[in-house]
Structure 1
Amino acid sequence: MKIALLGYGKMGKVIEKVALERNHEIVLKKGRNDNYDGLENADIAIDFSIPTSAVANISACFERNIPVISGTTGWLEDYDKMVALCGEKNGSFIYGSNFSLGVNVFFELNDYLAKMMANLKQYNVSMEEIHHTQKLDAPSGTAISLANGIIKNTNYAKWTLEKASASEIHIEAKRIENIPGTHSVYYDSEVDQIEIKHTAHTREGFALGSVVAAEWLFGKKGVFTMKDVLGI
């Protein structure tokens, strides 16, 4: 495939490496201040940019009938607009808060554990996420996805970065140099603690997942998720 990289920071460079290793061609490397010249030559676009660029990048793809994979987080107040535009333009779209194949298994584990813990009122749930200092949004999109998975399956109402009430999930967001991404979910009672945790060792897991998603999306129409890609 001919791939356009929308966002050419650290993640974009790792995606480029993985894509080339899988025999794809990179036809556009768009930085923050670059235009979209050459996007029309792509078979598919992969957007790992910044929150303020994501909507413009995704829209540019739909306007040019280019399928798009977006792993940029921090812009989801406009997600429904992008889904509507995808439908209007008969486009192809996958958004993922995390494209790591392991994290998407972790999402399923988190949902399953939340269902089992829902009626055990003696446990309080909390979360911690740790990322590199260049990450612009907090909490991470992955942490929000995990929290929403818990909320969907329990009586918790929302998440918060502040001190939590009984109906809230506290998320501790930490920024530490050179940490690709660590997410922990804790269920604490007076007598014990249950913890599930995913630790990314490198960015290559995110890059591989995004390229695998692009390979899967190519030739399809509609809005999909990593659950579709992985068949889970």
Structure 2
Amino acid sequence: MKIILLGYGKMGKIIERIALERGHEIAAKIDVDNRHEFDTTKADVAIEFSHPDAAFDNIRKCLSRQLPVVCGTTGWLERRAEVESLCKQQDGTFFYASNYSLGVNIFFKVNEFLARIMNGFPQYDVRMDEVHHTEKRDAPSGTAITLAEGVLKNVERKRKWVNKESTNRGDLFIESFRIDQVPGTHVVKYESAIDDIEIKHIAHSREGFALGAVMVAEWAKDKKGVLGMDDFLKF
């Protein structure tokens, strides 16, 4: 399989190594210096881990040229509906996940299961913490937003997520920390006057994200439509 890497930062380099180890070929490595140069006819799939400012144009270019694209960039999702509409118009392939780690996707499902239970116990308030390295541009993280969406879908007393402290009981507060040289950590906390319940995921490296992205690219290159991790993992 021939892969175009859109974004060649830390994640792009790990994806490259894992793809080569799995017998694939890197057709192009695109970053800010050569972002206008990639030839979509020379690849089977694109893996997009770039920057929020570049993601939309990268994805649009791939879809308009019938190149399946697997995207893990967060922070641009206000334009996601446009991308999904274009994918359908072009009969293309667009796969998006806020996190490609198998462990995180299991964590997403545990979060939703716990939220369904906690919906019946209004004495518990719920909040979230997320910690990332200082190079992480967006806050809250895409993973945190996905977790928040899982809570909002199942806990009726919560109406929306916010990224600042709020006294509104309908707000789900996500507190974001950016600290140098730390593992990515996400915590969902249910707190009451009697006790607290907490679930946590800690990512020790980027390896799990990169491997997941390559495995998804292997699977998605022959598929059509707007796809996500539920389709890949068949949860």
- Superposed displacement of residue 177, structure 1: 1.4
- Superposed displacement of residue 50, structure 1: 0.5
Counterpart of 2:53 in structure 1 is 52
- Superposed displacement of residue 179, structure 1: 2.5
RMSD: 0.9
Per-residue displacement from partner, 1:116-142 (whole Å, max 9, x unpaired)?
000101100010000111011000010
Per-residue displacement from partner, 1:69-97 (whole Å, max 9, x unpaired)?
00000001100000011111110011111
What CA distance in whole angstroms lies between the structure 2 residues aligned with 1:191 and 1:148?
26
Unaligned runs of 5+ in 1: none
What CA distance in whole angstroms lies between the structure 2 residues aligned with 1:65 and 1:179?
38
What CA distance in whole angstroms lies between the structure 2 residues aligned with 1:38 and 1:126?
45
| Kept in 2: contact 1:61–1:68 (CA 8 A) | yes
Counterpart of 2:44 in structure 1 is 43
Identity %: 53
1:166 aligned to 2:180? Answer: no
Counterpart of 1:193 in structure 2 is 196
Of residues 178, 181, 184, the one that matches 2:184 is 181
What CA distance in whole angstroms lies between the structure 1 residues aligned with 2:184 and 2:39?
32
| Kept in 2: contact 1:125–1:169 (CA 8 A) | yes
1:221 aligned to 2:207? Answer: no
Unaligned runs of 5+ in 2: none
Report the TM-score when normalising by structure 2.
Answer: 0.97
Per-residue displacement from partner, 1:35-94 (whole Å, max 9, x unpaired)?
233332010000000000000000110121100000000001100000011111110011
Aligned residues: 232
- Give the stretch that moved more between structures: 176-185 or 50-59: 176-185
Letter of the structure 1 residue corresponding to residue 65 of structure 2: R
| Kept in 2: contact 1:28–1:39 (CA 8 A) | no
Aligned to 2:202, the other structure's residue is in SS state: strand
- Superposed displacement of residue 161, structure 1: 1.4
What CA distance in whole angstroms lies between the structure 2 residues aligned with 1:193 and 1:3?
46
1:95-106 correspondence to structure 2 within 5 Å: 95-106=96-107
Counterpart of 1:18 in structure 2 is 18
Structure 1 moving runs of 4+ over 6 Å: none
- Superposed displacement of residue 180, structure 1: 3.9
1:1-232 correspondence to structure 2 within 5 Å: 1-34=1-34, 35-155=36-156, 156-164=158-166, 165-232=168-235
Aligned to 1:13, the other structure's residue is in SS state: helix
What CA distance in whole angstroms lies between the structure 2 residues aligned with 1:168 and 1:33?
41
What CA distance in whole angstroms lies between the structure 1 residues aligned with 2:49 and 2:11?
7
Letter of the structure 1 residue corresponding to residue 6 of structure 2: L
- Superposed displacement of residue 208, structure 1: 0.7
Aligned to 2:198, the other structure's residue is in SS state: strand
